A and B are shown apart, each in its own frame.
Chain A
Amino acid sequence: MAEPRMLTYREAVLDALFAEMRADPAVMIIGEDVGAAGGVFKQTEGLFAEFGALRVVDTPISEPGAFGMAVGAAMTGMRPVFEVMFGDFMTLCMDQLVNQAAKVRYMSNGRAGVPLVLRTTMGTGANLGPQHSQGFYAWAAHVPGLKVVAPATPQDAHDLMRAAIRDDDPVLFFEDRMLYTARGPVVAGEPQTLGRARVVRQGRDVTIVAIGRMVAFAQAAAEELAREGVEVEIVDPRTIAPLDRRTIIASVKRTHRALVVDGAPLAYGVTGEIASIIAEEAFDWLDAPVSRLGAANVPVPISRSLEPLSRPDASAIAQRVRAMLA
């Protein structure tokens, strides 16, 4: 097995793109400023120089058309990785995503597919405000035919990008911008498959199921709680759809308590889905009602003082766990 390298989250995804583009000439990148410029976050740096303009395609600012063309390319032999600069701009691709990409396999009775990755950035923390912060993964997960991934670590970002590219269905890959500079060991091992959760930390008192960047907040909360004698288990689903119910349920059956934490608005979101699955499949094992934390049901404000109030953090998570155990 290869030696681990210390990479940032951004570098880990880029490394996965290099690996998959070298392995398969069908993989191509499509997006705005992804070519010679190397991406607005330097997330495609160097690809253009190695793979050229036919496989690293700089588009005009035309998300609906360019994404639709990526769908057409995916139906005809390519494996495009389409980049939407900010998650909020995904709304411009919605028809081609929901009515075309997601439905092609079903409509063709399994004879056609759309092996495509839509990668996008999201997340609060950088004061980017109402139209540059939102993560629409709950919307996407609601659409039959789409797969949805939200990696929390450089290793997962690397592995899941490779898995997403190799997957034969449309996969949405949500990258939290606040994680871009997070550094961690990355082993370029065997390709993984989507749909497997990771037990981030073991503990016997309560299970925290955390999405994306919330995993890091849950870890900080767990450290704090450990000093108080509370042992927290953390499960990161990594793939939101399809969801690894087994790992989540097995954990809750061990700890008898569950808190689900998400950085997107709580209302009608991923936490509701996971909480109801726990209630349906592990009710008899629960010692307390399933609890949920998510962002306030507001557009993300740009103010440096208001923005942090809009979403959960480590202290909110710790506080909620204390309440659940009281």
Chain B
Amino acid sequence: MTAQSVKTPDAPAPAKLLEMHRAMVLIRRFEEAVRVLATAGAVPGLVHLCAGQEATNVGVIAALEPRDAIASHHRGHGHCLARGAPVDGLMAEILGKETGMCGGRSGSMHVIDLERNNLGTNGIVGGGIPLAAGAALSARARGSDAASVCFFGDGALNQGLLHECMNMAAIWKLAVVFVCENNGYGEFTAIDDVTAGPSLLARGEVFGIPSSMVDGMDVRAVHEAARGAVARARAGQGPSFIICNTWRFGGHHVGDKQDYKDDAEARAWRARDPILKSAAQLQDEGHASEADLRAVEHEADALVKRAVEAARAAPEPAPQRLLEHVHG
């Protein structure tokens, strides 16, 4: 592969490391608040939380410029927040309120935020993959050097759309990065039970796409891999495939009893909590004091608390909104 010919960017500055940490903490606190709200019955529809997977969300998105596009999936609050979605607007959207980012009509699984080039969370497993690949096709036609990223779970590895889009991205050298957030399960089914072949990476390699596996609980490792892939994409060298091995701390959706997971597994993964890891690194390296890290948490808590209060107090969408915006 020609990956080496693209200069790997310098190591991230301490400010960037702290920024990534802050983004992960915000996601964790946000998800905890959504869990409480959903358990109390305040959230219409199904909600899929990404606690535990913050490093894959943040590490990749921190490698992007505003002009780059992302496509997310059903477990997508973290992608939206990492991409800069307003905390208030996202929370209100999840509660289906008028003040939500999409007017309360889309909820957790269908947030579209084109102002931040976020093509949306998606209720169809694999549905966002061609959208991100299409954004790269669009960039090519427009002569733009924008890259795009599609996030998908391990469940989408078995969707034909992924293989079709990988093939097209490879033949046209599109500036797209395929990021699989492999948390080991699709709903209640372990990936090994439904996914053939000796190696998940082979699914990218068969198309000649540089494919790598990273520790999805390590935001720096994810970021490093993503930066390389984005640089490659921007340089016109085509797509990359990154598998981030991670684990969701909660169930498939709020309310899932998780009988299919065992305690030893949970203990092992929780010990690898990406936020604890990042906090320890920042402290060890002298980039942040314990007080600094506590301040980050307080800041996130304050933002989330304000968002929850505002969303709870916000009105339901007015009846006349029902018929709006079917067509342009």
Residues of chain A contacted by B71 (CB below 8 angstroms): 72
Surface stretch bound by A, among B22-30, B131-139, B247-255, B283-291: B131-139
Q: Is the CB of A73 within 8 A of B168?
A: no
Residues of chain A contacted by B138 (CB below 8 angstroms): 72-73, 76-78
Surface stretch bound by A, among B9-17, B50-58, B76-84, B103-111: B103-111
Q: Mark A54-83, 1 if CB is under 8 A from B, else 0.
A: 110101101011111111111111100000
The answer, yes or no, to whether A111 is at the interface (CB within 8 Å) is: yes
Min CB distance B327 to A, Å, is 5
Q: Mark B103-143, 1 if CB is under 8 A from A, else 0.
A: 10110001011110101101110010111111111111110
Given A65-B168, A108-B102, A112-B114, also A99-B123 (CB < 8 A): yes
Give Cα A169 to B69, complex, Å. 21
Q: Is the CB of B160 within 8 A of A105?
A: no
Q: Is the CB of B164 within 8 A of A109?
A: no
Q: Is the CB of A75 within 8 A of B119?
A: yes
Number of interface residues of B (CB under 8 A): 46
Given A54-B140, A106-B105, also A169-B327 (CB < 8 A): yes
Give Cα A76 to B324, complex, Å. 22
The answer, yes or no, to whether B302 is at the interface (CB within 8 Å) is: no
Give Cα A169 to B129, complex, Å. 21
Query: Which one of A68, A76, A108 lies within 8 Å of B130 (CB-CB)?
Result: A68
The answer, yes or no, to whether A100 is at the interface (CB within 8 Å) is: yes
Given A77-B142, A110-B324, also A62-B137 (CB < 8 A): no
Closest Cβ neighbor of A167 among chain B residues: B328
The answer, yes or no, to whether B267 is at the interface (CB within 8 Å) is: no
Residues of chain A contacted by B293 (CB below 8 angstroms): none
Give Cα A63 to B240, complex, Å. 22
Min CB distance A133 to B, Å, is 25
Closest Cβ neighbor of A64 among chain B residues: B161
Query: Which one of B106, B160, B171 lies within 8 Å of A107 (CB-CB)?
Result: B106
The answer, yes or no, to whether A263 is at the interface (CB within 8 Å) is: no
The answer, yes or no, to whether A28 is at the interface (CB within 8 Å) is: yes
Closest Cβ neighbor of A145 among chain B residues: B326
Q: Is the CB of A75 within 8 A of B141?
A: no
The answer, yes or no, to whether B167 is at the interface (CB within 8 Å) is: yes
Closest Cβ neighbor of A28 among chain B residues: B141
Residues of chain B contacted by A67 (CB below 8 angstroms): 130
Residues of chain B contacted by A74 (CB below 8 angstroms): 134
Closest Cβ neighbor of B140 among chain A residues: A54
The answer, yes or no, to whether A43 is at the interface (CB within 8 Å) is: no
Q: Is the CB of B160 within 8 A of A57?
A: no
Give Cα A104 to B110, complex, Å. 9
Q: Is the CB of A75 within 8 A of B105?
A: no
Give Cα A112 to B103, complex, Å. 13
Closest Cβ neighbor of A103 among chain B residues: B110
Residues of chain B contacted by A105 (CB below 8 angstroms): 325-328
Q: Is the CB of B328 within 8 A of A169?
A: yes
Min CB distance B328 to A, Å, is 4
The answer, yes or no, to whether B282 is at the interface (CB within 8 Å) is: no
Residues of chain A contacted by B164 (CB below 8 angstroms): 60, 62, 64-66
Q: Is the CB of B327 within 8 A of A107?
A: no
Query: Which of B123, B327, B328 is packed against the most chain A CB atoms within 10 Å?
Result: B327
Q: Is the CB of B130 within 8 A of A72?
A: yes
Residues of chain B contacted by A75 (CB below 8 angstroms): 114, 119, 131, 134-135
The answer, yes or no, to whether A113 is at the interface (CB within 8 Å) is: yes
Residues of chain B contacted by A62 (CB below 8 angstroms): 164, 167-168
Give Cα A127 to B211, complex, Å. 47
Residues of chain B contacted by A144 (CB below 8 angstroms): 326
Q: Is the CB of A78 within 8 A of B141?
A: yes
Residues of chain A contacted by B105 (CB below 8 angstroms): 106-107, 109
The answer, yes or no, to whether B190 is at the interface (CB within 8 Å) is: no
The answer, yes or no, to whether A168 is at the interface (CB within 8 Å) is: yes
Query: Which one of B115, B161, B324 lies within 8 Å of A68 (CB-CB)?
Result: B161
Q: Is the CB of A65 within 8 A of B165?
A: yes
Give Cα A273 to B275, complex, Å. 57
Q: Is the CB of B326 within 8 A of A73?
A: no
Residues of chain A contacted by B135 (CB below 8 angstroms): 72-73, 75-76
The answer, yes or no, to whether A311 is at the interface (CB within 8 Å) is: no
Given A62-B167, A76-B134, A95-B127, also A110-B140 (CB < 8 A): no
Q: Is the CB of B102 within 8 A of A72?
A: no
- What are 7 inter-chain pairs, A to B, with CB distance below 8 A? A65-B129, A69-B133, A76-B139, A107-B105, A108-B106, A110-B328, A111-B102
Q: List 10 additional A-B contacts (Cβ < 8 Å) besides A69-B165, A72-B138, A96-B127.
A: A55-B141, A60-B167, A60-B168, A68-B161, A73-B141, A76-B139, A78-B138, A108-B114, A168-B327, A168-B328
